[in-house]
Amino acid sequence: MPTPDSGREWTDPTCPVARTVDLVGDRWSLLIVRDAMDGAAAFTEFQQRLGIARNILTDRLRRLVEHGILTTAPTPGGKRHVYELTDAGRDLFTTIVALRQWGERHAFTADEPRSTLTDLDGGPVAELRPASERGEPLAMTTTRVNKVG
């Protein structure tokens, strides 16, 4: 997997949240990752699902490959390629679920239709909540950021 470019201009070089947003935080990148998690692999699949302009999709796919979130593999015919999530891309699953759950709580009215995420048996997915290594619930008031310098 490519490593972050040490010469890159980071929004906040010592903050993991800022670096993550720098890598995948634009409007389209996480939606591309979401659709890859839902089975999209070909350029045309992403374009049809997202309704995104070709030039923007080309740029975002290129950047996601460069940053090691997606990789490419040739199709059986060899003329085209498909996109596959890398380990780093699959590791964004928890982030996608957290965004989904935040959206369910704050971006929809109670009676507004929306897609749902279930386990393979059709059961609900538990709400994500941070916990300490001891299993104790954590919140903004029970954590701190240890800044560099």
Per-residue pLDDT for the chain (149 aa), expressed as one digit of tens each? 455 555 678 999 999 999 999 999 999 999 999 999 999 999 999 999 999 999 999 999 999 999 999 999 999 888 899 999 999 999 999 999 999 999 999 999 989 999 999 999 999 999 999 999 999 999 999 999 999 98
Across the chain, where does the E strand assignment appear?
70-74, 81-85
What pLDDT, on a 0 to 100 scale, did the predictor assign at position 2?
53
For 117, what's the count of Cα atoms within 13 Å in the CB-facing half-sphere? 18
Sign for the pseudo-dihedral over CA of 128, 20, 69, 106? positive
What pLDDT, on a 0 to 100 scale, did the predictor assign at position 78?
82
Residues written for the chain:
149
Alpha-carbon distances, residue 62 vs 19, 78, 90 (angstroms): 18, 19, 17
Q: Which CATH architecture has domain 16-113?
A: Orthogonal Bundle (1.10)
